Structure 1
Amino acid sequence: MPRVGLLERLKSGRPVIGDGSFVFTLEKRGYVKAGPWTSEAAYQYPDAVRQLSREFVRAGADVVQAFTFYSTDDKLEHKGVSDRSVSEDVGKITSKQLNNAACDIARQVADEGDALVCGGISPTPGYMKGLGKEVVQKEFDKQCEVFIEKDVDFMLAEFFGHVEELEWGVEVMKKYGKPVAATMRISTMGDMNGVSTAECAIRMAKSGADLVGINCLFDPENCIKTMKVIKSALDEAGLKPFLMAQPVGFYTHEANQSFGGYMALPEYPLAMESRIITRAEAHKFAREAYELGIHYIGGCCGFEPYHIRAMQRRYLAEERGFRPPGHDKNSLWGIDMAQSSFESLTHRITKEYWMNLNPAAGRVGAPDLAKIDKFDG
């Protein structure tokens, strides 16, 4: 039976659940360098990428995003990933090698279930260097050619801080006839060229993207605020793309008015654990996103498989028509603690307890909020 495509799923009204964190989670597991955040692990450590992808699908993700983040030749060369200093046994790594490997892993895992494969492009050093549209689009073309060869189900432009570069990317992706999603790393302040959030939304939609939204840098609460601005602007302009949201799985309150988002926090990237959202908060985000009209709901850095499971359970399981494997071992509101030998814990088995909990940092003298560093973009 043919797999139902992305746009067909969205048109049916069924929410699509994306996957979550790759570079951040794989860095914690010892497969990615913090700083470059490039995806050579797809080529060097395919089993690690495959395992994480399987965990997201088992948690209920409808999409396996190929690990192609920052996988352009100019990015790999800019960060020194393509030379032998990375690994003596790998040597030079090219964009084509990475994208091929990542797509093969994604397809294998997707075919184990009913998931879709997404091939993604991201910002290039060429744009920041001012090398121009032709140079930048050449890098995108090299990635998209692999995506077509590997027959991904749709393409995504993600993590763009400048709407102009994103438009260039969408223009390339649209040539290949696949559904296209477009997301930016923006808050309510707009992009890094001074384009307002509302104007970014309109330009994303007019570029031809089938899905429009935001990803990364900011927490779920700020994501909802920003998506309200985006939805309002699109409605006013009479534009009706599907909406998509994939925030980070950390609280970023102090940095929500910084272009750097969580990168401006002093805890980034190696001490973010105290800021991780709970599974109840992930569940709350999914509910608010769906009620706002966002039907592609996923996570970015910090969103672990258990967050993805929590997002679709209870609230979206009925709309999606199924529960993922393991749901019987992973109660959202702690009802299994009723079986605990410690009766003093049984008051924690209600939805109200977990939804209203304000977790402690666990550190004596810990500040309530951090003083953010200046972020230069």
Structure 2
Amino acid sequence: MSGAKKPRTDKKGFMERLNAGEMVIGDGGYVFALEKRGYVKAGPWTPEATVEYPDAVRQISKEFLRAGADIIQAFTFYASDDKLENRANESLNKHTGAMINQRACDIASEVAAIGNGNGPGLFAGGVCQTPGYLSGGTKESVQAIFRKQIEVFVKNKVDFIIAEYFEHVEEAEWAVEELKKTGIPVACSLCIGPEGDMHGVSAADCAVKMAKAGADVVGVNCHFDPWMSLEAVALMKAGLEKAGIKVPLMIQPLGFATPDCGKQGFIDLPEFPFGLEPRILTRWECHRYAREAYDMGIRYIGGCCGFEAYHIRAVCEELNKERGFFPEGTEKHALWGDGLRQHTKPWVRARARRDYWENLKPSSGRPDCASMSKPDAWGVTRGDANLVQHVSATDDAELKKLYQHEKA
């Protein structure tokens, strides 16, 4: 296969790669993938699977590695203690937060060490937004939550830490400030689109704030599809350039098409979270996404919720010339459908060409399916009484109030 090169055996550092202009390919969405497979509970979305079903987490990590990912992220999303016990989630009754995070590091470090055609992989820990912040917590109390998680990452000598999935840049700044005390590189991404964060801070200003807080890499992840995410990163890039700040950019969007979502992203869509399958990106759309991201100058390219291993493989295949090798997973995937030459049916063999798949507009298969949805757009964010979290379960009376709000 063209583009092959001799794998290196050294482990080149995260910032060393990015500062040299090299790209790093992230992995995909663990939470949604594991929920679909029966290992994560929708609602809390917490990662106790690292303790309860470690083989399931390990298998998905290996699939992302085989697809070509350079980075294996520890499955520590929403693993802060306040989230693990939020709304009657029973995780902390069974396991400690530290245990969940430790097992996540064990799995990620093990898989990353296997490496791909670009040598040993990078292993990252991660923190994200907290119920404590949404409930109006102080800077000191929220940073204490991050500090507790960070202890595990320092102990396990992660290559870098990701601060991700923040709807408010203020909380991201607080996270970065605390993470930087470790001396470990920090990549920070917000789950925002072109309209900016939930407090009205523009995407451009968000990028500047993250960088000034000390983030070594800035960008976006989740909540929006590749095209809206690319638009948001373009605004960030312009804001950084205007401020005279130079930091590498990152992007890890949804694996779903969301042109109709509002400011808060796909969680406002009526299909969230159990009816999103008709929106799943094709692998060919991921080729386009990867090329546009690279051409924009983004060098940390990956995926979030909805991104499966084959999506990451498509990213790596599109960028094989720039990377110098194809992922191991390409062994069973001829480029642009070329393997269909071997199909028994002639009309399927006729699809063994790039222009067919590049120009395909997939159908939903549902005759009465609307082409777009109307987002719920309640306009609720930090400071609203409905966002004050609690450890007790959501009761019927609270649900009744929410139903009435929805009807209104």
Q: 1:361 aligns with which of 359, 364, 374?
A: 364
Q: 1:57 aligns with which of 55, 58, 65?
A: 65
Q: Give the AA of the match of 1:228.
A: A
Q: 1:68 aligns with which of 76, 89, 107?
A: 76
Q: Give the AA of the match of 1:72.
A: S
CA distance in 1, matches of 2:372, 2:334: 31
CA distance in 1, matches of 2:207, 2:255: 23
Corresponding residue for residue 10 of structure 1: 18
Corresponding residue for residue 101 of structure 2: 99
CA distance in 1, matches of 2:221, 2:265: 11
Corresponding residue for residue 342 of structure 1: 345
- CA shift for structure 1 position 147: 0.1
Unpaired stretches in structure 2, ≥5 consecutive residues? 1-8, 382-408
SS in 2 for 1:334: helix
SS in 2 for 1:230: helix
CA deviation profile, 1:138-161 (whole Å, cap 9, x unmatched): 110111110010111000100001
Corresponding residue for residue 88 of structure 1: none
Q: Give the AA of the match of 2:55.
A: D
Matched, 1:329 2:332: yes
Q: 2:281 aligns with which of 274, 277, 282?
A: 277
SS in 2 for 1:156: strand
- The TM-score normalised by the length of structure 1 is 0.95
CA distance in 2, matches of 1:204, 1:100: 27
Corresponding residue for residue 373 of structure 1: 376
- Report if aligned partners of 2:192, 2:264 keep a CA contact under 8 Å in 1: no
- Report if aligned partners of 1:59, 1:305 keep a CA contact under 8 Å in 2: yes
Corresponding residue for residue 46 of structure 2: 38
CA deviation profile, 1:279-303 (whole Å, cap 9, x unmatched): 0001110100000000000000000
- CA shift for structure 1 position 131: 2.0
CA distance in 2, matches of 1:11, 1:318: 20
**Structure 1 stretch displaced more, 260-269 or 275-284:** 260-269
Q: Matched residue pairs, number?
A: 368
Identify the structure with bigger relative contact order (alpha carbons < 8 Å, sequence gap 6+). Answer: 2
Q: Give the AA of the match of 1:136.
A: V
CA distance in 1, matches of 2:128, 2:373: 29
SS in 1 for 2:111: helix
- CA shift for structure 1 position 305: 0.2
- CA shift for structure 1 position 2: 4.2
- CA shift for structure 1 position 81: 3.0
Corresponding residue for residue 87 of structure 1: none
Q: 1:253 aligns with which of 256, 259, 264?
A: 259
- CA shift for structure 1 position 205: 1.0
CA deviation profile, 1:21-62 (whole Å, cap 9, x unmatched): 111010000011111111111111111100000000000000
CA deviation profile, 1:82-141 (whole Å, cap 9, x unmatched): 458xxxxxx432210111010001011111112111100001111112220111111101
Q: 2:215 aligns with which of 209, 216, 224?
A: 209
Percent identical: 52
Corresponding residue for residue 400 of structure 2: none
- CA shift for structure 1 position 333: 0.7
- Report if aligned partners of 1:280, 1:332 keep a CA contact under 8 Å in 2: no
- Report if aligned partners of 1:185, 1:214 keep a CA contact under 8 Å in 2: yes
- CA shift for structure 1 position 170: 0.3
Output aligned runs, 1:220-259, within 5 Å.
220-255=226-261, 258-259=262-263
- CA shift for structure 1 position 316: 1.1
Corresponding residue for residue 313 of structure 2: 309
CA deviation profile, 1:314-351 (whole Å, cap 9, x unmatched): x3112112212131211231001111111122221221
CA RMSD, Structure 1 to Structure 2 (Å): 1.2
SS in 1 for 2:182: coil
- Report if aligned partners of 1:82, 1:94 keep a CA contact under 8 Å in 2: no
Output aligned runs, 1:114-153, within 5 Å.
114-153=120-159
Matched, 1:199 2:202: no
SS in 2 for 1:119: strand
CA distance in 1, matches of 2:275, 2:237: 34
- Report if aligned partners of 1:310, 1:332 keep a CA contact under 8 Å in 2: no
- The TM-score normalised by the length of structure 2 is 0.88
